[in-house]
């Protein structure tokens, strides 16, 4: 690619993308609402609020691909969710429609299906069951991506990210964890495959106890290599056995299923 846009480049996964995706394009355009420091020789830095439609149109112009990590990353009140993940998502896709229809990696979330129980293994055809306003916003984003694909041909990988950290932080993540290396390999596959379409992909490593089935996207050639099971003994020693009645032990979405609606 000539130019790859990474939104949310100051966030946890956005920062990983900034460090690890430089080989995918001649120029990496980085976007965030907050300061991103000095630009490297191969970088362009653009401060942008996704709720600002005109600013987003200018941001997307000239980009061959987009890794959309921007937006509200946790549960919040409706105003915050709406501005970042509803209006911001629409602004991004309509800008993409107007400026070359670049391929997009959309950071969806496991919270789009968070109310499935942990004894249920699901695939991309499972009905959405969001566990929060945040989860609802991710379902909206998947639906928007689907419509822009069917109507305008914009290809999107909707990646329902599980728990992407250097290592699992609790027992729930023995099932939901995705390593940074597997995450980067997934993005490489998404931009390398000749025809992407608009698939739902579960962002999860090759965990022994994973709840999610990615057989439908085998055509990507993505083969996760890491396994959270190697961390089980450490988690047992650190936390003991988990409470079987806790939301973290009952639902895919864990504690999000029990979170209250936040007032503005």
Any idea where the domains of the chain sit in the sequence?
3-258
d(C-alpha 255, C-alpha 258), whole Å = 5
Q: What is the pLDDT of residues 126-149, one digit of tens each?
A: 999 999 999 999 999 999 999 999
Site of tokens 């900034």 = 18
Q: Mean of the pLDDT values across residues 217-225?
A: 98
Q: Mean pLDDT, the chain, as a whole number? A: 97
Mind spelling out the 3-state secondary structure of 175-194? HHEECHHHHHHHHHHHHHCC
> What percentage of the chain has pLDDT greater than the value 70?
100
Q: What mean pLDDT is predicted for residues 215-240?
A: 98
Could you tell me if 226 and 182 are in contact, meaning their C-beta atoms sit under 8 angstroms apart?
yes
Which residue among the candidates 93, 116, 134, 251 is catalytic per the annotation? Answer: 134
Active site residue 116: no
Given a cut of 90, whether residue 232 has pLDDT beyond it is yes
Is the distance from CB of 137 to CB of 72 less than 8 angstroms? yes
**What digits encode the pLDDT tens for the residues 159-187?**
999 999 999 999 999 999 999 999 999 99
User: In this predicted model, what pLDDT tens digit does every residue of 34-50 receive, in sequence order?
Assistant: 999 999 999 999 999 99
Virtual torsion, Cα 224, 230, 234, 240, nearest 10 deg: 90
pLDDT at residue 35, as a whole number = 93
Q: In whole angstroms, what is the distance from residue 144 CA to residue 88 CA?
A: 12
Whole-prediction pTM = 0.97
Predicted confidence (pLDDT) at residue 32 exceeds the cutoff of 90: yes
Average pLDDT of 232-238? 97
Q: How confident is the model at residue 156 (pLDDT cuts 50, 70, 90)?
A: very high
Q: Would you state the pLDDT for residue 75? A: 98
pLDDT for 264: 83
Q: 90-132 pLDDT, tens per residue?
A: 999 999 999 999 999 999 999 999 999 999 999 999 999 999 9
What is the C-alpha to C-alpha distance for residues 10 and 114, in angstroms, rounded to an integer?
26
Is the pLDDT confidence value at 230 over 90?
yes
Give the fold, CATH level 3, of 3-258.
Rossmann fold (3.40.50)
Residue 244 has a pLDDT of: 96
What integer pLDDT is reported at residue 84 of this predicted model? 97
């Amino acid at each position: 690619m000539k130019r790859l846009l990474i939104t949310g480049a100051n966030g946890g996964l956005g920062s990983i993308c900034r460090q690890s995706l430089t080989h995918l394009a001649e120029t990496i355009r980085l976007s965030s609402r907050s300061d991103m420091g000095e630009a490297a020789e191969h970088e362009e830095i653009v401060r942008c609020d996704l709720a600002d439609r005109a600013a987003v149109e200018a941001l997307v112009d000239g980009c061959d691909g987009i890794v959309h990590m921007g937006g509200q990353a946790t549960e919040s009140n409706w105003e915050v969710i709406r501005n970042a993940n509803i209006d911001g998502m629409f602004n991004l896709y309509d800008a993409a429609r107007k400026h070359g229809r670049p391929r997009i990696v959309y950071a969806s979330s496991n919270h789009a299906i968070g109310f499935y129980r942990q004894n249920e293994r699901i695939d991309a055809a499972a009905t959405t069951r969001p566990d929060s306003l945040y989860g609802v916003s991710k379902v909206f984003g998947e639906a928007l991506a689907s419509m822009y694909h069917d109507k305008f041909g914009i290809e999107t990988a909707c990646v329902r990210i599980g728990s992407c950290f250097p290592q699992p932080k609790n027992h729930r993540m023995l099932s939901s964890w995705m390593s940074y290396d597997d995450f980067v390999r997934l993005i490489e596959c998404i931009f390398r495959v000749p025809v992407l379409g608009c698939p739902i992909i579960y962002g999860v490593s090759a965990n022994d106890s994973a709840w999610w089935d990615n057989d439908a996207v085998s055509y990507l050639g993505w083969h996760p290599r890491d396994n959270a099971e190697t961390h089980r003994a450490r988690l047992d020693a650190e936390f003991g056995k988990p409470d079987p009645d806790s939301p973290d032990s009952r639902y895919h979405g864990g504690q999000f299923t029990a979170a209250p609606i936040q007032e503005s």
